Amino acid sequence: MFILKGIEQLTNAISKAKKIRPRVEFDRFGRYRVSGSKGGYYTVICKKSDNNYKTVECTCKGAEQGLACYHAAAALSLHIGLARRQQTAE
């Protein structure tokens, strides 16, 4: 799990995601499944903690160590778009 402070943090993960182009499946708002480079899927959970930090969880090894992985970057691009749509709908 890592705390998302800004998009700069994701620069490397985003370029990796662009190269690998993982498949992102929508589960529900804030919960996504992202395909791994060696097959299988990782679950990415994006949420706001009680103290208003944006936290991102992924079930891969990298994220376990607090790294911003490309699964998270791929899921976040979908999540941010959805969150924006939700805000304009309110």
Nearer to Zn ion, 71 or 79 (CB): 71
Question: According to CB under 5 A, which one of 10, 17, 24, 63 is a site residue for Zn ion?
Answer: 63
Q: How many residues does the chain have?
A: 90
Scan residues 20-49 and list those touching Zn ion (CB under 5 A): 42
Q: Does 58 participate in binding Zn ion (rule CB under 5 A)?
A: yes
CB of 53 to Zn ion, least distance (A): 19
CB of 69 to Zn ion, least distance (A): 3
Give 53's Cβ-side CA count (13 Å radius): 10
Question: According to CB under 5 A, which one of 16, 33, 71, 79 is a site residue for Zn ion?
Answer: 71
Binding site for Zn ion (CB under 5 A): 42, 58, 60, 63, 69, 71
